[in-house]
Structure 1
Amino acid sequence: MNLPTGVGTGIGSMPGTDPRETAAIINGELDFPHLAELPARGAGADMIGRMAAILVDLPMDAGVTGYRLAGRGSGLARRARDFLRADLDAIEELWDTAGFIGSGRPVKIQLAGPFTLSASVELPNGHKALRDTGAWRDVVASTAEGAHELVAEVTRRLGAEVIVQLDEPMIGSVIDGAVTPLTRFDTIRAVPVQDVVESLTQIIEYVDRPVVVHSCAAPRWDLVEKLRGVAWSLDVTAPDSAALDGIGGLIDRGDVLIAGVVPSARGGRDVRAETVATGLAGLVDRIGLNRKVLAQNILVSPTCGLAGATPEWAKSALGICAKAGELLGADPDAL
């Protein structure tokens, strides 16, 4: 896995509706930037809606109660493609001006993971796609193909080192069989952890790029233990004993933790990069790991997406992540 070290990064979503302004903020604050999602633009711009522009041979549309898989192309898909094209144009224009194109600079793209997507979109009959094993397996295959095509486009446009992030905030509910069904008489069976691992591995192997799996919900350490060779982007602000064991195992085997520690919305307390870095050093000490892992295996991020933040805090949060990452990479023993 080749992820940059000594850096911070963002999760994906940002406030506002202007892709050029957002790209300027992200690339100005971060050495490991990401392609922004701007859900304030409406349907087709959020994490789930964007997949209407990415899925291959699996059309999506907007129904009365939300997004659904459709039999043919839709206005939603055209709208989502327009949003995605605008976001790609914005970052390409910025990179061209800055002289980054062809430099191999890392950039992260985000896609809704297949299980969160299947738990969120409906079939034409109104049931969640997750209810039908064949349907969610189709979502897995389509996500893999769409991710592969998006990686190719970003590489062509930017000449970048592309990292793929799969957003799976609902993965715990999927594994526990707790996804809300259409009616109380409906049933959506739990998907075994091993099936989740095999499906995500199918995508990881097909895209053939470094992959991050992100969830801002409670981490599923049973999944983290079984799905190896990826980076895990997790909220680690209040680790219990299970989290300490899980983080320790993840790092000890050589995988990367993108530590969600910077608040996604400004709170009442002052947040400083030095405090964030010192806190992560203390976390590593509690686990009993050598502090060198701070520079080699840990990146810094917000706890979740920044779509709900003020523009001012979104910019500040990314800057704090970047500075904290630099501190981890510079001299971990000095923290």
Structure 2
Amino acid sequence: MIRASGVGSWPQEPVREVVRRLRDVLADGHVPYAPEIPSRGPGADLVGRTAAQLAEMPVDLQPPGWRLTDAPGRDVSRAGAYLREDLDELAEAYDGYTGPMKVQLCGPWTLAASLWLPRGDRVLVDAGASRDVVQSLAEGAREVLTRVRRLVPGAEPVLQLDEPSLPAVLTGRLRSASGFGRLRAVDPGVVESGLRTVAEAVDGLAGSVSVHCCAPDVPFALLRRVGAVGVSVDTSLLTERTWESVAASVEGGTTLWAGIVPTDTTATHPRQVVEPFLDAWSRVGLETARLSQVVVTPACGLGTRTPAEAASVQRLAVDAAGLIAERL
């Protein structure tokens, strides 16, 4: 069976309705996930939700964004309340469930690129602060997954690290605090080590770890070196060259979380999104049997769509997974 899942974000709806909708669509052999509803406000966004889980690194919310501080502000309390509500709804909706359960957190390098130091620079400019964020996130991720295991005892958590800024971190494309300069690129070895630190910290708590990066220049080779992590991508952004990198990763055992369903799709049949993916798979020389390493997802989060559109895209991902399974 080819499984389907989602990336994470969902449009504004009561969280109970979203959790149950996703359970009904995905719980039967696929990979359900804890939805993020960023339109609820600060603390429900990817960075704030994750920053609030950092161990012994308080944050607050300022006009430029989330900032490291001496004591947590009320925005952290709100972020914690959102996550508690979400996990409580998971516990109720998935009572008696056994199987995978995906949870999303901001990855260490996007987090370091998004958080601000008290003096006004990005955390990323300070190597020591960046190391502290990596270590703190590792502890925070362990705590979140421990809570998921406690609330849904039959769940096998899957941790997704969202790293949309990863290519910019590696190539020095991030703007400085002034906006006039660019930050120095971070050494790939340092980036690799940080990702490995978080992945190894959740070993034994997470059944698997994946890195989501919806960018054209996903660093596949670096992610392969991290070790046993899957890669989640928007397949529409893959070029002939990057498909070669995908092939090397899949042949090395990597799970490909393939975002083959555009979030704004007008497709009415899964064949319309499956055939371009299978054509590219065949052109790059990947064996049909390796499709068992694919998890089908929307191309990116669904937070900007309407609830009806999001539900349609998520259902199409499930149908697409079924169609690919027929090809095996």
Partner of 1:20: 16
Structure 1 length-normalised TM: 0.92
User: 1:109 is matched with which residue: 95, 103, 110?
Assistant: 103
Matches within 5 A, 1:245-256: 245-256=244-255
Partner of 1:75: 74
> CA–CA distance in 2 between the matches of 1:17 and 1:188?
38
- For residues 179-204 of structure 1, what are the alpha-carbon distances to aligned partners after superposition, in whole Å with 9 as ceiling and x for unaligned? 11112576622111111111100111
Is the aligned partner of 1:158 residue 2:147?
Answer: no
Task: Tell me how many residue pairs correspond in the alignment.
Answer: 320
> CA–CA distance in 1 between the matches of 2:226 and 2:5?
22
**Is the alpha carbon distance of 1:328 and 1:173 closer, same or farther for their aligned partners in structure 2, counting shifts above 3 Å?**
same
CA contact (8 A) 2:6 2:32 kept: yes
Runs of 4+ in 1 over 6 A off after TM superposition: none
> CA–CA distance in 2 between the matches of 1:168 and 1:231?
13
- For residues 113-150 of structure 1, what are the alpha-carbon distances to aligned partners after superposition, in whole Å with 9 as ceiling and x for unaligned? 11101111111111101010111111100110000011
> CA–CA distance in 1 between the matches of 2:166 and 2:327?
33
Q: Which amino acid aligns with 1:316?
A: S
Q: Name the % identity.
A: 35
> CA–CA distance in 2 between the matches of 1:288 and 1:42?
45
**Runs of 5+ unmatched residues, structure 1:** none
Partner of 1:179: 174
User: 2:294 is matched with which residue: 282, 293, 298?
Assistant: 298
Partner of 1:332: 327
Shift of 1:44: 0.3
SS at match of 1:34: coil
Partner of 2:138: 144
CA contact (8 A) 1:8 1:32 kept: yes
Q: Which amino acid aligns with 1:211?
A: V
Shift of 1:287: 1.0
CA contact (8 A) 1:300 1:324 kept: yes
> CA–CA distance in 2 between the matches of 1:177 and 1:68?
21
Shift of 1:230: 0.8
CA contact (8 A) 2:141 2:202 kept: yes
SS at match of 2:304: coil
> CA–CA distance in 2 between the matches of 1:84 and 1:26?
17
Q: Which amino acid aligns with 2:69?
A: A
SS at match of 2:231: strand
Computed over aligned residues only, the root mean square deviation of the Cα atoms, in angstroms, reads 1.5
Q: Which moved more, 1:27-36 or 1:165-174?
A: 27-36
Q: Which amino acid aligns with 2:18?
A: T
Q: Which amino acid aligns with 2:83?
A: L
SS at match of 2:245: helix
Q: Which moved more, 1:281-290 or 1:111-120?
A: 281-290
SS at match of 1:111: strand
Partner of 1:212: 210
User: 1:199 is matched with which residue: 188, 194, 199?
Assistant: 194
Structure 2 length-normalised TM: 0.93
**Runs of 5+ unmatched residues, structure 2:** none
SS at match of 1:301: strand
CA contact (8 A) 1:281 1:332 kept: no
Shift of 1:240: 1.5
Q: Which amino acid aligns with 2:39?
A: A
**Is the alpha carbon distance of 1:191 and 1:316 closer, same or farther for their aligned partners in structure 2, counting shifts above 3 Å?**
same
Matches within 5 A, 1:222-237: 222-237=221-236
Is the aligned partner of 1:310 residue 2:306?
Answer: yes
CA contact (8 A) 1:225 1:246 kept: no
> CA–CA distance in 1 between the matches of 2:2 and 2:210?
17
Is the aligned partner of 1:168 residue 2:163?
Answer: yes
Shift of 1:326: 2.2
Partner of 2:7: 11
Q: Which amino acid aligns with 1:301?
A: T
SS at match of 1:292: helix
**Is the alpha carbon distance of 1:63 and 1:106 closer, same or farther for their aligned partners in structure 2, counting shifts above 3 Å?**
same
- For residues 224-264 of structure 1, what are the alpha-carbon distances to aligned partners after superposition, in whole Å with 9 as ceiling and x for unaligned? 34333211001111432211211110111111111111112
